[in-house]
Amino acid sequence: MELTGSAALVTGAASGLGAAMAARLAGEGMRVIGVDLPAAIEGAGEAPAGVHLVAADVTDEVDVAVALAVAEGELRLVVNCAGIAPARRILSSHGAHDLATFRRTLEVNLVGTFNVLRLAAEVMAGHEPDADGHRGLIVNTASVAAYEGQIGQIAYAASKGGVVSMTIAAARDLARSGIRVNTIAPGIVDTPMLASLGDEVRASLEATVPFPHRLARPDEYAQLVVMLAQHDYLNGETIRMDGALRMAPR
């Protein structure tokens, strides 16, 4: 798929994986619409050249439709990076896991991903296909927690497991429209939020990764998305990006 000169939409684009993704795609010559919540955009500073940040909630149908309209032209790539990761045990000293937190996690991580996927697919389906029948690619973000959820990750693991399960069904649904769907399941990524936990925590996390013996970098996630865009035969796949990490219970 040719990236240069086409449009992309990236959710969660004000920080972390989303920010790295938006910057990389702009560097590839794409016009990038970066979506995030208003407060996140306010704290992000100036966006990189080629990236236009739009305030939107991925769970809101109107917000997402407006962001897609801003993309205009031929939207060829959508990357869903927006998400939340609350930590709660099913039972703790405070009692049972509150239902509102569980619902909100599924609403943002799973329903929000589906909301963007369905509306973006509708836009992509209206474009002319390339010579091989391709109209676009949608990349969703899961997590290794979808496979090995740790203690306190019940809501997060459930939401990311849903993203993984959607992948093959979405790819099959959208095949007749020439739209591919893939998912990336990162391990431990070196984001600003992780850096705030301190060097000791960082070192302990690095020690759990078999090889390379370090944390993943956001730019490596972006690199993988570009590879997925360029490899037209990868479809309906979830790719773990984790250095062979298998998460322990805690």
Residues labelled as active-site residues:
156
Q: Are 123 and 68 in contact (CB under 8 A)?
A: yes
Residues in CB range of 96: below 8 A, 6 or more apart: 90
Instruction: Report which of 140, 135, 87 is spatially closest to residue 112, judged by C-alpha positions.
Output: 140
CB 122 within 8 A of CB 63: no
Tokens representing 135 are: 């109209």
Spell out where the chain has E strands.
Answer: 7-11, 31-36, 51-55, 75-80, 91-92, 95-96, 136-141, 179-186, 238-241
